[in-house]
Each structure stands twice: as structure tokens, then as C-alpha cells.
Chains A and B, each alone.
Chain A
Amino acid sequence: MTVTAADPAAPAADVRTGRAVITGLGVVAPNGVGVRDYWAATLAGTPGIGRLTRFDPSSYPVQLAGEVTGLEPAEHIPSRLMAQTDRTTQLSLIAAEQAFADAALDPAGLPEYETSVVTASASGGFEFGQRELENLWSKGSQYVSAYQSFAWFYAVNTGQISIRHGLRGPSGVLVSDQAGGLDVAAQARRYVRAGRRAVVTGGVDASLCPWGWAAQLTSGRLSTRPDPDRAYVPFDVEACGFVPGEGGAILLVEDAGTAAQRGAGAYAEITGYAATFDPRPGSPRQPTLRTAVERALADAGLTPGDIDVVFADGAGLPELDRIEVAAITDVFGRYGVPVTVPKTMTGRLYSGGAALDLATAALSLRDGVIPPTVNLRHLAPEYAIDVVRQARPGRIRNALVVSRGYGGFNSAVVLSTPPGSISEH
């Protein structure tokens, strides 16, 4: 891979390596807010799925969701900013704050234009949008908020995080449904390769409003089963769709050299990435997920035997699970690698879900433990994969994270033990 030359304005004694490491995590998940609580809940197999409380779901065929609870955004965000933001933006601002704190990095001390933001989004500030559509159509155009023009669009989280933390480098927003959370991590790595010191990335989504719910229902992929323990059971004989949720993770990615220089520890290095797209429906051509996985491994310079755990997409629908299992067994062999789906505890968080999986994989690398997949009772007999059902300790050098988006997006990221850690030298 080529690297764009760094800015000539860079300091003379440059320690930059162009290698991207994750140094900070911020988590807003249905089963835990903050890295510590989330990780403890996840290792313990504690789920955060329940009946929707944000609105009365009685009239809808799906009534379960992963809601972020125990967090009052108004306690973290100035009232002026509360009024002009959707919940998804509030949650992403809180997660970004956590990520900076976790990395012990104050971006104000860094050179101008060397800090960036790139986030994934699926639906923008959708609940805010429903309120303003209602104002427009029930009362009239003069009742539409002055904030609607920038509270709903997909770029809102990146823009608000940039403003809040004074981040002025190249920044972006990608929308590739659930795969977007991985695509932005790759973009963060590109920014680091091009000379940025710190990049805020990840994604937080929330469209748990009636209008967002109606739109999600039409994907045909939501589970209508009412039992929270049986509704979202990827790879199970009873797999019948997924439970949606809200939240996600924001990650702080830094150049490995400048991070080490300031004495910051790293969870993991982003070493591999690839994305592909599936053939159109009805095409005789094969799905391309396997190609994405193989290319991500090649990008990392690794072979399948180097991968110690796969964080699977786990769509929870038999036709999609089958494709993923085929890709995993084609690359790694039958029962060739531990596979886990911690999102069985949170539901699928759209672009926040893949970002949260990256955070989870980073924690897994740090602590040498694979978090469990919950609620899997009977693995479908044709799936020759080793699904981790209880936290499993072991040496983890490299983790593969897989995510797919509606329509055919496939993305894969490899996280590896960061440079400078004992296992590398």
C-alpha cells in the first residue's frame, strides 16, 4: 500500500510511523455505558435487550430493542447543544468524550489539522427529523426548527464532534448500512498513514422513534419473536431475524509512534481491511464476503492460522448466516477458528454495531479473552463453526471483525496486538 507524503509542516524529529493504533474507547451500548461496565457485562454474558420503552410499541409486530439505559444525556451535554441535537448525536458526543478520556489525550495540545473525525451513520438524527416533519405537516413550515437543517443529516455526528473537540483535520462520513462502522476505521487508518496524529472514528446510531421503527420493519430482517432470549439467535436452528438497537462505539485512533512518544498504551493496531459488494439479487454469481475476508488477511500480511477469533456479523437470518458460515469455513476450515457474536447481547446497532465490535475486539486483544455469544441453544447442524458460548481466555494476537450491510456491503477488519507490546518483540 502506498502512503501519501506527510505534511511538510510536521516537526523535524518525527516519530510518526503511519501505523494506526486504537488508544481510546468510548462505549454507549444497551448492556453497558462506558468501557468498564460494558466489558464486564459482555464477559458475563449480560444482555441489554428488552421491550421498547421510548414509545409504545404495542401496535407494531416487533416490540423488542436494545435501548441504552442508565444514561441521562442532559447530565453530560450543555442544554444549548441538547436543543439542537438528536439522541444519536448526544450519544456519540458522550462516547467521543469517553474515548478521549480513556486515551488520556487532550487534542487541544496537538498541531492544527492533525486531528480528524470520520464516523459512520445509517440514519442520521432520525427522531429529531420525525418531530420536525410532524411540525411541518401538522402545523406549518414556520414551525420547523432552525436546527433541522443540520440535526438530521448524516454528517451531524462528525460535525458536532469536530466542533466540540476542535478537530480540524480531514474528516468524513460514510454510509454503508451496518458495514459502515468498519469502513470508517479503514478511513481512520488512511488518515494516520497520510500523517494525522489522532482520528476519532466509529459510529453511533439511534432511530428508535416510531417513524424509524416503521422504516426498519420494512427491511424484513427484524425478529417478531417476543422472548428477549430467543428473538435474536444467529447460527441457531431457530434463527429468525434480529433485534435492532441503539448506540455504538467511538474509537480514538492514533499514529503508533506519536502515541508511544506520549506514553499512551494501545489496545490494538488496525492491520488489515477490505470491502466487497455482493452481486445483485438473482445473479448466478457468488456472494463476495469470502473475498473481503481473504483480502483483509492479505492486507494484514497474515494467514488464516494467525487469526485467533472471528467477531462474526451474525445476521440472525438463516439465508444470511449460511453465507457467513460458508465464508468462515472456506477460509479457516471446519471448526478452524473461534467465532463469537457479542451483539447477541445488544441487538444490532446499525453502523454502531460494527464499531462496537471493533471496541470489543480491542478489549479482547488487551485482556486475552473472547467474549461469549449468548442465547445460542442449538447450533444449526450444517454449520461447522466453533461458536464461543462462555468467555474463553487464551492468547489473542489477531482478531477478525466482519460486518455486512443491507443491499450487499461486506467489510472485514483485522486488529492485531499493537507494536511495542511484549508479544511482538
Chain B
Amino acid sequence: MTRRVALTGIGTVAPGGIGTKEFWELIKAGRTATRRVSFFDPSPFRSQVAAECDFDPAANGLTPQQIRRMDRAAQFAVVSSREAVQDSGVELDEVDPTRVGVAIGSAVGCTMSLENEYTVVSDGGRRWLVDHTYGVPNLYSYLVPGSLATEVAWDAGAEGPTTVVSTGCTSGVDTVGYAAQLIREGSADIMIAGATDAPISPITLACFDAIKATTPRNNDPATASRPFDRSRNGFVLGEGSAVFVLEDLEHARRRGAEIYAEIAGFASRCNAYHMTGLRPDGREMSAAIDDALRQAGAAATDVDYVNAHGSGTKQNDRHETAAMKRSLGDHAYRTPVSSIKSMVGHSLGAIGSIEIAACALAIRDGVVPPTANLHEPDPECDLDYVPLEARERRVDAVLSVASGFGGFQSAMVLQRHDRGSR
């Protein structure tokens, strides 16, 4: 019999509040956490807004050595994983540690620390032959971001299969899909899985400026992220993480765990088209959606809520609107679709997991989070995007999608766990 995968714990570090509860309150209220970049002076950049986390690592339980050693993205991941483990109620001391694995997604790894270190060893960009004697002792762990998973595994005492999944902006969905597969095939009983990114650094702003992917709406940071709106003109960079405890369903049942949802389907496709461009017809994303629904044994009409990629770039929002129509048919028009990036920005690889957290909470609470800042829909984006205010409705099945540089298109289906089902 095929093993099933239960989501039993959630941990979140998101802009506007640290912890899952704060995150959920923020997005249910439709409040935005986008603001003018405060980590450094953004005035040389075209886009000067971001969704930053007010994150104090010491107040969140990290030791001075952990803080010194870990990139900010690793700090987010460890704090989130602790919250997830606690939330799940699983006692990791009581299970075989080699049956507990870790999968952490990230698009850009330890960018912030790498750039900081670069400026020192290169003396502010003056030396091509950098002076390594100025590098911190753990620079290697920034070079290779496997360290993000290493830190979580060390902290949790996990000794099962451990890796970082790095598929750009679909990493957060792909990581959960990867971890679910390891449980399904029997390689692990428990996976601590999710994604993290802390990319708000000058090099990241510069590289998105160069292709005009981020919004130049600097005069009104709080409404800068406008998915599906006619006036949208790019995404708002964000940061954060969400990490989950995923378990073999029988394992979760035996210990009487509260189950948020089952990971019922996951699929990805590549567009093989362009590193940053999207074909307008959305066919590869649609193929991923179809496959994820098929695995879940769900019909298009079973979908109660679609958590959109909704980055707020001109091409993305049209692309995925087309994909949803292609896969869901008329039901696309009757299903609430929303983008929480309107509130917490686009944290690259992390956001896919943060969105899965929102999906699991939508199932638990019967609330669909809104798309903020959506006042005048683009005529080409003609679905029900839940503008401005959250909506109460029973949610049994959620579709979450992601799209990213490299051509990756991913889709995941979460379903309410029916206690009686076998």
C-alpha cells in the first residue's frame, strides 16, 4: 500500500511578524509588510522597496555562536524548524534519527553573507585576487548552501536523508514535494522540510533592477506589490522561511497528531523556453497542475482555493491565469485565487513554502487569504482574486502553484485529512 504524507507542524518567519500565528493574522487581515529597504541605503537602485523581517535571532533562541556562524537564511530555517517540530508535538528523541530527514529549499542560498564577505576580501571590489585572510572561518558554508540543511539537521538531531533543493523560485514547493516523495517511498518516516531565503542584499537588488523584474513604485512602498492589478509593474523582493513537519500518515495517526492536511499531489514541469521568459499560454504550468490533481485523485471542480504564484510582474500574472483556465476550465472562474505576495512580497525560493503554510491554515480555519492592493484588475486577469479582504469558506482541497527562473513550473495539491479515510 502506498504510504501517505501528513503535514503535522508549521513554523514560519515572515515579514510583518515572526511565527506562524503572526503571519496568519497579518495575511488574514490583508495587511501589507512591504516597505522601503532599511538594511542599507537603497537610493542607488531602481527598486527600493522590500518585505523585510524584523527578526532578532537572539530573541528567537539562537546562541551567539549560531548567530555568528549562520547566514540569515539559515537562522530563519532553524527558527522555523523548531517552531514546526514543537507545533507537530512529535518527540524526535523517541524515533530512530536515521529515519528523520531534512530538505530545505532556497533559491539563492547564503547570498547576504557571501556579499558581505566579498566586500571585505575584495576590499570593496578593488581586488580581483581577493585576500582570503580576511574571510570568516566558515565562509565555505556560505559558498555551498547545503549548510542550510546541515544547520537544521544538527539542530533537530536528524540523521536521515538531508539535502537542499534549489530550483529558484519554485524551490519552496519542490522541496515539500521532494520530502513527501521520500516519505512515500519509505526512505524516511519524518521529514523536516521547507524553504528559506534572505536575499535582500545589494547584489540581488542590482540583478533584478537590470532586468526590470522588481517594481520601481518607491513612493508608496506599502502598496507596491500589486498582483493581478492593472497597475502592477514588477514584484517586491521579500525574505523569510516556512518549514514543516511531514510524516508518514500512519505514523502521525499512531501518535494522535493533529493533521493540517495531506500532501496529496505534486508535479513539476520545465518550459524549456527561456531562463526568465514565459510562454503566454501557460501550458507547462497547466501540465503540472493536471498531474498534481491526478495524483491527488481530485477533479478540477474539487479545488476550493488556488494559491497563485501571483508575483505581480506583467507576464507572470497573465501566464498563470492562462494556466488555471487551461487546467480548471470554467471552474477557474468560480474558484477563489489569491496571491499573498501582495502582502509579504516575493521571497524567491522561500515563498513557495510560506504559501503552503497559508494553504494549510486556510484548510484548518476555513479562511481564504486575500490579494491586497487589487483595486483594478487587469482585463487579461479575469478570475476571482479575492481582492483586499479575506473570505470565509470551507476549504478541503487547495492548489498551490509556483513559477521560476530556469523555466520551472510546479503545482501542489493539499487536501483536508478525513479522519475516517483509509
Contacts and interface: CB of A to CB of B under 8 A. Distances in A.
A210 B157 CA distance: 35
Interface string A387-401: 000000000000000
A84 B273 CA distance: 15
Interface string A352-384: 000000000000000000000000000000000
B141 interface: yes
A148 B210 contact: yes
Given A134-B122, A153-B107, A170 B269 contact: yes
A139 B125 CA distance: 9
A214 B131 CA distance: 7
B124 A141 contact: no
A215 B142 contact: yes
A315 B284 CA distance: 42
Interface in A110-126: 112-113, 116-117, 121-124, 126
B377 interface: no
B268 A171 contact: yes
A261 interface: no
B358 interface: no
A132 B140 contact: no
Contacts of B211: 146, 149
Interface string B166-202: 1110000010001001001111000000000000001
B63 interface: no
Contact of B407 (A116, A135, A159, A214): A159
Interface string B94-128: 00011001100001110000110111011011101
Contacts of B139: 214-215, 218
Interface string A156-169: 10111011011111
A91 to B, nearest CB: 18
A126 B142 CA distance: 12
A37 interface: no
A173 to B, nearest CB: 5
B408 A159 contact: yes
Contact of A133 (B125, B146, B150, B187): B125
A79 to B, nearest CB: 17
B271 interface: yes
A279 B131 CA distance: 33
B263 to A, nearest CB: 13
B272 A276 contact: no
A22 to B, nearest CB: 20
Contact of A167 (B114, B270, B295): B270
B315 to A, nearest CB: 15
B202 A136 contact: yes
Contacts of B184: 2, 4
Contact of B144 (A140, A163, A406): A406
Contacts of A116: 270
B36 to A, nearest CB: 16
Contacts of A84: 275
Contacts of B165: 172-175
Count chain A CB atoms within 10 A of each CB in B119, B185, B271, B272 and give the residue with the most: B272
Interface residues of A, number: 93
A175 B164 contact: yes
A336 interface: no
B159 A150 contact: no
B141 A407 contact: yes
B135 A218 contact: yes
B92 interface: no
B274 A163 contact: yes
Interface in B193-220: 202-203, 205-211, 213
A218 B136 contact: yes
A49 to B, nearest CB: 20
B162 A275 contact: yes
Interface string B125-156: 11011111001111111111111011001110
Given A176-B146, A176-B162, A215-B143, A1 B185 contact: yes
Given A162-B270, A174-B163, A211 B137 contact: no
Count chain B CB atoms within 10 A of each CB in A84, A134, A159, A281 and give the residue with the most: A159
Given A1-B185, A277-B162, A213 B122 contact: no
Contacts of A150: 168, 275-276, 405-406
A408 interface: yes
A144 B210 contact: yes
B194 to A, nearest CB: 15
A170 B147 contact: no
Nearest to A133: B118
B333 interface: no
A408 B49 CA distance: 38
Given A138-B124, A141-B44, A176-B162, A215 B270 contact: no
B128 A175 contact: no
Nearest to A1: B185
4 closest pairs, A vs B, by CB?
Answer: A137-B125, A159-B406, A407-B150, A214-B132
25 contacts: A1-B185, A1-B186, A4-B295, A144-B203, A144-B207, A159-B408, A162-B406, A163-B274, A166-B272, A170-B268, A171-B268, A174-B164, A175-B144, A175-B165, A177-B146, A187-B178, A214-B121, A276-B160, A276-B162, A277-B101, A278-B159, A280-B155, A280-B157, A350-B144, A407-B146
Given A2-B185, A277-B150, 16 more contacts: A4-B295, A59-B129, A116-B270, A130-B118, A134-B125, A137-B119, A140-B44, A155-B107, A168-B271, A173-B166, A211-B121, A214-B121, A215-B140, A406-B144, A408-B153, A409-B163
